[in-house]
Amino acid sequence: MQESSIERYLTQRVKALGGRAYKFVSPGNAGVPDRLVCFPGGHACFVELKAPGKKPRPLQVAAQEQLRRLGFAVETIDCKEQVDGFLDYIRYQWGVPE
């Protein structure tokens, strides 16, 4: 499975829950997560997507830690099952309806 199919699955599932999964690019800031996922109620999370079994590069880990220190939620996802688990957690934690 390719990273692009996991990314497509994430964006479709987020949209079905009434949210948006914006492609996130920040020129001059290498290593930022792939998506900024926003849900009703003002909830947001950064998501780094990887091909199955792949890990974030050191620069990506550093960018994720920087965002976490600022108080943002950051997830790394490498399969569709993790997308489902992430969204289950979001629905529970943030009260996002199905």
Place of tokens 């529970």: 92
Q: What range defines the domain where residue 70 resides?
A: 3-94
H helix intervals, 1-97: 3-16, 58-69, 80-94
Q: What is the CA radius of gyration of the chain?
A: 13
Q: Indicate the pairing of strand 73-77 with strand 43-49.
A: parallel
| Mean pLDDT confidence for 45-58 | 96
- Mean pLDDT over 8-37 rounds to 96
pTM beyond 0.85, yes or no: yes
Per-residue pLDDT of 7-22, as tens digits, reads 999 999 999 999 999 9
DSSP 33: -
pLDDT in tens, 58-72: 999 999 999 999 999
- Domains in the chain, number: 1
- CA 74, distance to chain mean position in Å, is 7
What pLDDT is attached to residue 1?
74
The CATH number covering residue 13 comes to: 3.40.1350.10
